[in-house]
Amino acid sequence: MTAVPRMSREVPHIPVEDFFGAPVRARAEISPDGTKIAYLAPWREQLNVWVESVDSDEEARCVTADDNRSVLTYHWTDDPRWLLYEQDGDGDEHWHVYRVDLENPDAEAVDLTPFPGVTAVGLEPIPARPGKALLHLNRRNPAEFDLYELDIPSGALTMLARNPGEVSGWMYTPDGALYAMVWTDRRDIELAQWDTEKGKLRTVTTFDGADYPLFVQPFQLTPDGTGVWFGSNRGSDLTRLARLDLATGEETEVDSHPDFDLDLRSAVFPTLPQPLICHRRTGELLGVRYLGGRQVIHPLDPDFAAVLENLVKLSDGDLAAVSSDVSGQRWVVSFTHDREPGVTYYYDHSTGESRLLFRPLPHLDPEALAPMTPVTVTARDGLELPSYLTLPLGAEPAGLPLVLLVHGGPWSLDSWGYHPLVQFLANRGYAVLQVNFRGSTGFGKEFLKAGIGELAGKMHDDLIDGVDWAVGEGYADRDRVAIFGGSYGGYAALVGVTFTPDVFAAAIDFCGPSNLVTFLRTVPEFARPHLINNWYLFVGDPDVPEQETDLLARSPISRVDEIRTPLMVVQGANDVRVVKAESDQIVDALRARGVDVTYLVKDNEGHMFTNPENNIDVCRESARFLARHLGGAAEPEQTEQPTPA
């Protein structure tokens, strides 16, 4: 049996609210002038932005006022008067940008993109033009994003470039030059300079689209506007950091790691650490993140190297969010840790002073949480699958009920850190296994491309091989295994109960597509151009008849009669990526057969649940469902039961 660290102590039953309730504070960032710290904290049961002074004891102030849905993303501006934040409507992904006046506490937030049904994305400041920011809006056409300049004080929007139809993203240099990212007819990604007067493109370079299922990440303009820092895997398996000369198209390596890819988790989850750490004032490159079993940061600036040396002493976790003032002396940083989530510190490099700002979840005792251990599962064809095993504390690590937890994407990955669902399940007595199946990102180009054509094939075999590994090592009871996942992970759960119905004793599908044909035909218009090198490449295009046939054959709905495993389905009514009809059709088909299925729908959620009360409700019901079928710890009954769909 693989050696996994254990902790011997009596383990308390931790309430579900302690895992999924709102943090007391989270996501802190220091202001550019170094005088204030912003962070998220509850106001009327939703997370909102609060601001406090660095140097005085004056009371912190809540500066946003959304009592319907938590605010998760905010931005300091170069003017200490203005703060921006983003919000959608109950998960519909129609993101708006709002402005807060920090000098006028009584002023209401101003919607700077007040256009119904329109999505604002890619907000970024323009360092060469104080008070200005860039953003992309699909105001003119839902499928096409035009580039705008936003004047923050006045709210005025000026179109800088109208999308001719094939552009998937824009870049604007300090001297006013425009560049476009364009999909070619060969599925490649072309970077081209845009001639505004002639409406023509000059190709700078072309990237192999098959190498970039989620686009080229990172892709960041250098401060002088003459080049781009980007993630390159030309001629190599691993992704390194390179610089592209915008005049010549020449690529030169900036930095690399011999064993790890660039840390690109933020490509899927923007709130996770960005791969590049840059100077707040100059924009120059300070450090680069890589990700293996744990994170590695390469400092590229001697001053930052000295700062980093002191920052990493603050915690034995991995450095996560970092922000500094424009002088590079005052820092606010947080850490990724499997049992000490998001612990956040202030550090002053000029004095050496450091202090703990907060623990987001102070009610959670790290000693009562289970270590997350990297393990390697060898697939049946010999491919090594980086995975993570979390074992419940206080239990003999043998013959345990197991939850196979499958990540979304599938162009994403599981990584070391605090995962509330993992810890919740472990606290209820379950072993939790997370397998990075082929097709996951972050483990090299060959590992990624091994997933092409393998949905409901080898990608699923990898998950089954993970179960076999856990049983073979003695950790799991073969007869008490559940599969649980969201988005692609929800699809994997449905594949589990239709393609391999004898493996699992229970399954939970969270917003997963049941029919790949209808799923791809209902993807929102603004996301469809990006399907070309992920879903269309990996599994097929429903508008091509023979590929439509294959898509249906890989869809759980085509094998619904095979389902005999207890199934729970969870869905956000406003989900625009995997629409409610995907869950309805599998539930309706089962109920038509007289098969009982637990179905929970949340009317004020989209693809990713945000409201704490909904996450608490879903996880409480999930624990009860798993306890009935796997025998884990039972969840206390509520006075009021949720209304089933």
- Secondary element (H or E) of residue 482: strand 476-486
Q: Both tokens of residue 410?
A: 């599938």
Question: Cis ω on the peptide bond leading into residue 218 (within 30° of 0)?
Answer: yes
Of 274, 252, 278, residue with least CA distance to 263: 274
Non-local (6+) Cβ contacts of 109 within 8 A are 64, 65, 85, 98, 99, 100
Q: What is the dihedral of CA 447, 452, 457, 459, to 10 degrees?
A: 30
> In Å, how far are 314, 400, 455 from 500, measured between CA atoms?
47, 21, 14
Catalytic-role residue among 387, 412, 415, 487: 487
- Contact status, residue 10 vs residue 427, Cβ threshold 8 Å: no
Distance of CA 259 to the CA centre of its chain: 23
Whole-angstrom distance, CA of residue 502 vs CA of residue 464: 11
CA atoms within 13 A on the CB side of 488: 23
The single residue of 575, 583, 617, 622 carrying the catalytic annotation is 575
Cα-trace Rg, the chain: 24
Q: How many CB atoms lie within 10 A of CB 505?
A: 20
Q: Which of these, 230, 233, 204, lies nearest to 219 by C-alpha position?
A: 230
- Residue 575 falls in the annotated catalytic set: yes
Residue pair 511/569 in contact by the 8 Å Cβ criterion: no
**Can you give 395-435 as a three-state secondary structure string?**
CCCCCEEEEEEECCCCCCCCCCCCCHHHHHHHHCCCEEEEE
Cα separation values, 91 from 94, 152, 575, 606, Å: 8, 25, 7, 4
Active site residue 607: yes
> 185-209 burial string, b = 16+ CB within 10 Å, else e?
eeebbbbbbbeeeeeebeebbebeb
Identified catalytic residue from 94, 607, 617, 622: 607
Which DSSP state fits 313?
Answer: G
C-alpha to C-alpha distances, 298 to 116, 223, 235, 243, 328, nearest whole angstrom:
44, 20, 22, 16, 17
Provide the annotated active-site residues: 487, 575, 607
